[in-house]
Amino acid sequence: MNAAASGHIPVMLDRVRELLAPALDAAGAVLVDATLGRAGHTIALLRDHPGLHVIAIDADQAAIEESRRLLGADISRVTLVNAVYDQLPTILAGLGRPSVQAVLFDLGVSSPQLDEPARGFSYAQDAPLDMRMNRDGDLTAAEVVNSYQAVQLARILSEYGEERFARRIAEAIVRERERAPVTSTLRLAEIVRQAIPAAARRTGGNPAKRTFQALRIEVNDELGTLRRAVPAALDAVAVGGRIVVLAYHSLEDRIVKREFAKRVTDSTPVGLPVPLACARPQFRLLTSGAQRPAQAELAANPRAASARLRATERSLDPCPSPADQPTRWPAAGQARQAAAAGLASPAGQEPGSADKPGTSARPRPIRPSGANRGRSRPARPSDAGGGRPRRTGWLVLPARRRAGQPGSPNFLCLAAARSARGRSGLPARRQHHASR
Ligand SMILES: C[S@@+](CC[C@H](N)C(=O)[O-])C[C@H]1O[C@@H](n2cnc3c(N)ncnc32)[C@H](O)[C@@H]1O
């Protein structure tokens, strides 16, 4: 049976295949499908890449069981995991896979979940107010609706549903539940309809849509889970590995966009005289902005309408924690002097290049910021020679020996100072001495 026959048409499938192909072509490639659903994307990718193995995660045991059936003989190439996807690091560690070649997230609910009344996701069919992806979870939509205070309900509806009548709806729910607990989807949908102004009922589809979205997000902690899962997925991909995320509302998409943006941006603090090796971007974007489904796809599958796709590729290995890897220069005194003068480092070395003989990095421009703003220029070798150190807005802390490693080389840490005056209130140069 194909995915469509199972009641689920994989969204933006051709684009997902195209974007993941370069990462999955290598023999032994591993994909994490973090939202297996009815295995629509997974089945297509297994066919495209005969050497591929998939670690397939879903919080919903029903999705796992149904996919096991849909996968048929391909099940031997799939590891099924019934878990919430923010458990990714634990899952990979348990499988002895520190890194993978790709991760796919196709967020939200699947068509079968929406279409099965008993799950309580749909405002179109009467069912108990449940909305749990993981049926072992202990918070249901009924519990939220019947136990949260009006202010909490209003906040959820406003933040997660972007509902402009959040307060009116929350107050109506509280009034109604005093008569009798609100336990069914259709009763809740009717309360919402009655709570909003008559004019608003006539526009924008079913007025309960945003309330149901908000409750689903709350019940499943969808945003918190995604905030933890996206960085974990980015950390898990190997160089050349790719991540594709399909989001279905702006709250999810914003989390993905921000996390990707962080990883493709140099994070050297503004004002630091040298770019930090560990702060270089480790990813590049594969999509500019969020991509949307084509009209032809929407005609065949209207449920794809709100999809927004973003993708990124790892271009550099992860850096060991900068705290564990202080910048090392052999000539600490010289380095301090050079940094105080706003130079890259003695002999034009980049931090960390000292143990590579013959490395000759060119001097780096000082970034315009704070005290330097408007005065930025490439550093000149003559600046190192003496004269008054220029104010850089940065403080060079003293070289220190690594605890427990007698005889290890000195390490220099460059630390930010808010201005030429450090936190102690002493001028930077005096603070430097005071901290010895
Ligand atoms: C849109 S469907 C995925 C459909 C799938 N790509 C396909 O083509 O069949 C989303 C799936 O993700 C699962 N899911 C949602 N949130 C999850 C989470 N936090 N952890 C694990 N699975 C989750 C849902 O149970 C659902 O089965």
pLDDT tens string 290-299: 999 999 999 9
Q: In the prediction, which pLDDT does 113 show? A: 86
Which protein residue's CA is at the shortest distance from atom 1 of ligand 1? 110
For residue 76, what are the CA distances in angstroms to 70, 73, 80, 420? Answer: 13, 7, 10, 62
All structural domains of the chain with their residue ranges: 4-106+222-314, 113-219, 328-367, 387-436
Q: How far is the CA of 58 from the centre of ligand 1 (A)?
A: 6
Q: In the prediction, which pLDDT does 384 show? A: 38
Q: How far is the CA of 63 from the centre of ligand 1 (A)?
A: 8
Question: Which of 58, 87, 113, 115, when mutated, tests ligand 1's pocket best, judged by the most ligand atoms within 8 Å of its CB?
Answer: 58
Query: Which one has a higher pLDDT value, 85 or 372?
Result: 85
Residue 9 CA, closest ligand 1 atom number: 8
Q: Which amino acid is at 295?
A: Q
Which protein residue's CA is at the shortest distance from atom 8 of ligand 1? 40
pTM of the model: 0.74
How do residues 99-150 score in pLDDT, each as one tens digit? 999 999 999 888 888 888 889 888 888 999 999 998 888 899 999 999 999 9
Residue 6 has pLDDT above 70, yes or no: no
The pLDDT of 39-56, averaged and rounded, is 97
Ligand 1: residues within 6 Å at CB?
A: 3, 8, 10, 35, 37-41, 57-60, 63, 84-85, 106, 108, 110, 133, 225
Which protein residue's CA is at the shortest distance from atom 2 of ligand 1? 110
Q: Lowest mean pLDDT: which of 189-193, 303-307, 414-418? A: 414-418
CATH of 113-219, one of 3.60.21.10, 1.10.150.170, 1.10.3720.10, 3.40.50.970: 1.10.150.170
The percent of residues in the chain predicted with pLDDT above 90, rounded, is: 59
Which protein residue's CA is at the shortest distance from atom 25 of ligand 1? 60
Long-range contacts made by residues 346-352, C-beta under 8 angstroms, separation at least 24? Answer: 346/384, 348/381, 350/274, 350/275, 350/277, 351/274, 351/276, 351/277, 351/327, 351/412, 351/414, 352/277, 352/325, 352/327, 352/328
The percent of residues in the chain predicted with pLDDT above 70, rounded, is: 72
Which protein residue's CA is at the shortest distance from atom 15 of ligand 1? 108
Q: Lowest mean pLDDT: which of 89-98, 179-188, 321-330, 386-395? A: 386-395
From CA 415, how far away is CA 408, in angstroms rounded?
21
Q: So what CATH class is 4-106+222-314? A: alpha beta
Helical residues (DSSP H) of 25-140, grouped into ranges: 40-48, 61-71, 88-94, 111-115
Which protein residue's CA is at the shortest distance from atom 5 of ligand 1? 37
Q: How far is the CA of 424 from the centre of ligand 1 (A)?
A: 52
Q: How far is the CA of 114 from the centre of ligand 1 (A)?
A: 12
Residue 58 CA, closest ligand 1 atom number: 22
Q: In the prediction, which pLDDT does 393 show? A: 34
From CA 72, how far away is CA 299, in angstroms rounded?
30
Residue 230 has pLDDT above 70, yes or no: yes
Average predicted confidence (pLDDT) for the chain: 78
Which protein residue's CA is at the shortest distance from atom 20 of ligand 1? 84
Give strand ranges (E) for 271-361. 283-285, 308-314
Residue 369 has pLDDT above 80, yes or no: no
Residue 331 has pLDDT above 90, yes or no: no
